[in-house]
Structure 1
Amino acid sequence: MHITPTPRPNFSYSHFSRQMRKLILSLLEASFNRCTDLRVLHGHTIVLGIIRDSFVASRLVEFCFKSGRGDPHYARVVFHSLDLPDVYTWNAMIIGHAERDSPNSGVSYYFQMLARRVPPDNYTFALVVKACMMGSCEDNELGRKIHGQILKQGMEDLVVVRNSLMNMYCKMGQFEDARLLFNKSLILDLVSWNSMISAYGKQGDVESARELFDKMPQRSLVSWSAMIDGYVKSGSFVEALRLFSEMQALGVKPDVVTLVTVLKACANLGALDQGRWVHLYINRIKIGWERNVVLGTALVDMYAKCGCIDVAFELFDGIHVKDAILWNAMIGGLAMHGHGREALEIFSRMRRHGMMLNETTFLTVISACAHSGMVAEGVEIFESMKREYGIEPKIEHYGCLADLLGRAGLVHEAEEVLCNMPMKPLVSQWGALMAACKTHNNVEVGERVGKRLILIEPLDGGRYVLLSNIYAAAGRWEDARETRRAMEERGAKKETGCSVIELDGTIHEFIVGDTTHPQSREIYEMLSELKRELKTVGAE
């Protein structure tokens, strides 16, 4: 039986009005959302004769890369079936490969586009820079080559292109080049400012980030969040909370990202009142922390680190879907406060639930054992990392094992761990062992470790002071005096002591000898009074 083929519609899609074009594109998108086979959608465009239209072709290529049904291979099939793909379709291939398949392939399509003599537009350059940044951030020459082509085309001053270049240089760690582009720009938008502030914050340069933040002609929520996040990443938790208070005073409403960052600051400071306020705010605006594992984890971490273990447990059990980060946060909070047995119970529950154990899991649970004096359990868990789970211990795990042994008074064994580990120990790990020697009055290992630390950090006065104290506790007064004398001769300085407390929701920071606190006179008078009272009872 002969079947007459359905004739292709005798029209050119380009003749349609703009409204009709939008309608057909909307129908295509609706069709895409309904069907599970890109080939069906492709077939519709061929039957209708509209695949030849550049806008339809580029839209179909975009559909091929969309999440959930992404099919980069079929995107290439569609693309290479086109006679003359235009700049929009090339752009779709560049960004599609960059985001879903292979960033380097995205860059490759850009060079193919040039070889086919298709003129790039401003979005092409922005997209290829993004692809270059995502796939070849270590290949600085490639990024500079693309930048050179942008200069030749006279497109560097376009905001979208310049922002992409700044992000690329920041990703490469070339902040001076990024800042030069920023300073040269005649037109800056919020993305430009936010990108530089975020980049400085991530590398710990909060001074430069704050300088730009204070100069911004206007700020968005992203600006505030980037600056607060920068403070948290650099350990400036007090400044992070101060800026959050300023943000609230100006009526800027925080989002989930901001709240998670603020909760991290509260957790690290032990600022329970501020953390509780954030929790109440979350409940008031009904974000639903029970179903948001990132926000729920931040709350659990904050309460656990602030010592509210019962509240942390209640929240932990209330979160519907738990990931490894949440389990680790609960174990870490228990570890901080010496609840070793409870931490091991959570660790056991984690394994029973079939959760994937990672490096952080082992680090937190060994730390819990260290803070609770459970040496045998901690050593067994350390040894099980590689034996049962195929996880190679890293420098942090060896340091935690040494800390576990040192806290228990097994300083010789701890020293052996640090000397025999497959990587060079950190200075802080030697310092922890030296503190353990002071606690357990082990002069032999303490002297050996102390001299090693003084060789590594000859200007750190804290090392001399601790070694001197170890000598003094053992009655070796001449060695103690000689150590103090060496400290003075070398000009070594002990790090200034600092403490932080929260009172009625306000964070107060105190530094030795500092008189900047508004109530410093009253504080010092009270300290003097306490000193006098201690003398009268013979307690000083």
Structure 2
Amino acid sequence: MATTSFSKLLSQNPFLSLLQNARTASQIFQIHAQLICRALMSDSFVASRLLFAACELSNPSSIHLTAAYAELIFSQVHHPNTFFWNTIIRFHSQTSNPLRALLFFSQMRKSGIFTDNYTYPFVLKACASMPGRREGVVVHGEVVKRGFDEDLFVRNGLISMYCRSGDVELGMMLFDGFRSRDLVSWNSMIAGYSMCGKMGEAQKLFDAMPERDAFSWAILIDGYGKKIGDVRRARELFDAMPDRDLVCWNSMIDGYSGLGMMGPARELFEAMPERNVISWSILIDGYIRHGDSKEALNIFQQMLRHGMKPDKISAVGVISACAQLGALDQGRWVHFYLKKNRILFDVVVQTALIDMYMKCGSLDLARRLFDNMRERSIVTWNVMIVGLGANGYEAEAVELFDQMEKEGTLMDDLTFLAVLTACTHAGLVAKGWEIFDRMRSDFGITPKAEHYGCIVDLLGRAGRLHEARNVIETMPMKPTLTLWGSLLAACRTHRCVDLAEVSVEQLKNLGADDSGVYVLLSNIYAEEGMWDDVWRIRKLMCARGMKKEVGRSVVEVNGRVHEFVNGDVSYLEIFSVLWSLSNNIALT
């Protein structure tokens, strides 16, 4: 009967049919304009379908605009019913700002509109997506008062909320106290135990399930592979699966990739009967995280040749690969490709591009992109400050920090680490001390060992070695290898043998008994003409079997990235190309 009535409404109002078939925001805007012109927005059913269509079209790249538009439609309805409230709450529960869902839920209750069994699962999902266990407990109390605690969908929402909030015991109490369980109930509990790393309990529930789907297997495979690193057990489950879907393949590959086992991950990837963009992204991300940026770049190019459209993870991954390799030409091509194909171009992707341009030394392109951004995150500002400092524009980095403060932009400990590093490279001792002192007093941010490291480096470069030593010995936390290493490097610059020996002794006590420390001390002795001590250090290194690490370099030639190591003669051809290019440039 309901289906017949809905079909009748569609036939009577052509705009409803258009809304049902709308695929782009532009189409919805046009329909909305027609509804306003024809005074149809007063029809609650028509308005509800418009809101539903707008929420369904939400795009991660413009989610803030979609949210504003959905709320605009909602505000134009004089007396929204339960369906309106549920639609807007459901929309916000799926975004990165689930607090909006709770705010609308609160407004709904104040408006006197009755909630139903569809309202609470959306609200509970919002609670689970944020540090909202307290809010979730309050909602649970209301669920009981309203008599919805026996509803299967609401009960599943409660189980999922408690499990995702880390309170898996309460989730299990709800699970045990409810006879009418479905597959979602079982999967929610297994997922809860897996997220906590309690794979024994998860396995027991899995074995006791009356029925399973591919998601049940994927949860367990993901838990073994990623949470506790037991890829052997994960592979046993994967091989035992009656029907493997794409999610399970991706989970298994992700398990290998997370542990740096890129060989088995690649073999499984090649054996996949089908792949989606997530499959490619997992592999690209794996190669990036485990130091093989060149192969990540090759995988991305293969992905494009297979006609696969990149997502945010693969886009950020390949941009990071270009940054690590210093492959500016390929980085610019990726930037052009993303813009041309209108692929997700949000603040995360743009920040990755800024980082890439900075690391490749292209400050103009980085600054232009930064200035044109509609919104910037803390990470965006931090990347700019770090990039300016690393490229020799320390004064501009400090100016950008001052601009952040003037605009009231939120700062974090990484912001201060970035600007202190810039002060260090510029030798701005007074400014560095001022910012360091204001961290706690004006911004309420407690300095970490890294911030003390910047101050030690700042003082060391300025030749104030004993002040630097005093900072290390009086800091509130245990000194790190980096701090003493920084002081040792400063000792070489300012030729302070006594303090260098103290630094080496401290580094030995902290376990940094490697070749780099002794090579540096040997060089300090050599510069002071203390040859007996030089030979003593070198004999000590030989006796302990220490070897200096082989140098590696990366170069981009004609759009291709080449890596070579010290002593490798296989790249003589590359050098001949570079030589001929330099000669041609000189001639022109």
Q: Does 1:391 align with 2:445?
A: yes
Candidates 281, 289, 306, aligned match of 1:225: 281
Candidates 77, 90, 94, aligned match of 2:155: 90
Kept in 2, the 8 Å contact 1:32–1:38? The answer is: no
* Deviation of the 1:472 alpha carbon: 0.8
Candidates 221, 224, 227, aligned match of 1:166: 221
Letter of the structure 2 residue corresponding to residue 85 of structure 1: E
Kept in 2, the 8 Å contact 1:458–1:490? The answer is: no
Candidates 178, 191, 195, aligned match of 1:130: 191
* Deviation of the 1:263 alpha carbon: 1.5
Q: Does 1:446 align with 2:500?
A: yes
What residue in structure 1 maps to residue 547 of structure 2?
493
Which 5+ residue runs of structure 1 have no aligned equivalent? Answer: 1-15, 46-50, 52-56, 528-540
The TM-score with structure 1 as length reference comes to: 0.79
What residue in structure 2 maps to residue 108 of structure 1?
170
* Deviation of the 1:183 alpha carbon: 4.3
- Give the secondary structure class of the aligned counterpart of 1:389: coil
Candidates 414, 431, 434, aligned match of 1:360: 414
Q: Does 1:153 align with 2:212?
A: no
Change in Cα spacing, 1:183 to 1:422, as seen in structure 2 (3 Å) is farther
Change in Cα spacing, 1:235 to 1:413, as seen in structure 2 (3 Å) is farther
Letter of the structure 1 residue corresponding to residue 223 of structure 2: M
* Distance of 1:417 and 1:207 partners within structure 2: 46
* Distance of 1:414 and 1:79 partners within structure 2: 62
What residue in structure 2 maps to residue 54 of structure 1?
none
Root-mean-square deviation (CA), in Å?
3.6
Change in Cα spacing, 1:200 to 1:397, as seen in structure 2 (3 Å) is farther
* Distance of 1:19 and 1:231 partners within structure 2: 54
Kept in 2, the 8 Å contact 1:193–1:216? The answer is: yes
Deviations 1:66-100 (A, max 9, x none): 6599985456534654488354442233235556x
Deviations 1:200-233 (A, max 9, x none): 4445554554444344343221111112112222
* Deviation of the 1:162 alpha carbon: 1.9
Letter of the structure 2 residue corresponding to residue 424 of structure 1: K
- Give the secondary structure class of the aligned counterpart of 2:561: strand
Which 5+ residue runs of structure 2 have no aligned equivalent? Answer: 10-44, 50-80, 90-103, 580-588
* Distance of 2:529 and 2:393 partners within structure 1: 36
Letter of the structure 1 residue corresponding to residue 182 of structure 2: D
Change in Cα spacing, 1:79 to 1:110, as seen in structure 2 (3 Å) is farther
- Give the secondary structure class of the aligned counterpart of 1:181: helix
- Give the secondary structure class of the aligned counterpart of 1:235: coil
What residue in structure 1 maps to residue 469 of structure 2?
415
Change in Cα spacing, 1:94 to 1:200, as seen in structure 2 (3 Å) is same
* Distance of 2:578 and 2:332 partners within structure 1: 30
Letter of the structure 2 residue corresponding to residue 433 of structure 1: L
* Deviation of the 1:150 alpha carbon: 2.6
* Distance of 1:431 and 1:178 partners within structure 2: 42
What residue in structure 2 maps to residue 430 of structure 1?
484
* Distance of 2:534 and 2:226 partners within structure 1: 49
* Distance of 2:356 and 2:574 partners within structure 1: 32
Kept in 1, the 8 Å contact 2:187–2:216? The answer is: yes
What residue in structure 2 maps to residue 216 of structure 1?
272
What residue in structure 2 maps to residue 262 of structure 1?
318
* Deviation of the 1:454 alpha carbon: 4.8
Letter of the structure 1 residue corresponding to residue 204 of structure 2: G
Q: Does 1:62 align with 2:121?
A: yes
Kept in 2, the 8 Å contact 1:123–1:161? The answer is: no
Deviations 1:275-320 (A, max 9, x none): 111111122123474xx21122112211122222222111111111
Letter of the structure 2 residue corresponding to residue 240 of structure 1: A
Letter of the structure 2 residue corresponding to residue 124 of structure 1: S
* Distance of 1:504 and 1:239 partners within structure 2: 17
What residue in structure 2 maps to residue 197 of structure 1?
253
Kept in 2, the 8 Å contact 1:170–1:178? The answer is: yes
The TM-score with structure 2 as length reference comes to: 0.73
Q: Does 1:327 align with 2:381?
A: yes
Kept in 1, the 8 Å contact 2:155–2:174? The answer is: no
* Distance of 2:361 and 2:264 partners within structure 1: 35
Identical residues among aligned pairs (%): 38
The number of residue pairs the alignment matches comes to: 487
Kept in 2, the 8 Å contact 1:363–1:396? The answer is: yes
Counterpart mapping for 1:68-83 below 5 A = 72=136, 73-74=138-139, 77-78=142-143, 81-82=146-147
What residue in structure 1 maps to residue 394 of structure 2?
340
* Distance of 1:209 and 1:419 partners within structure 2: 46
* Deviation of the 1:333 alpha carbon: 0.3
Candidates 552, 555, 565, aligned match of 1:511: 565
* Deviation of the 1:513 alpha carbon: 2.2
- Give the secondary structure class of the aligned counterpart of 1:252: coil
Q: Does 1:473 align with 2:523?
A: no
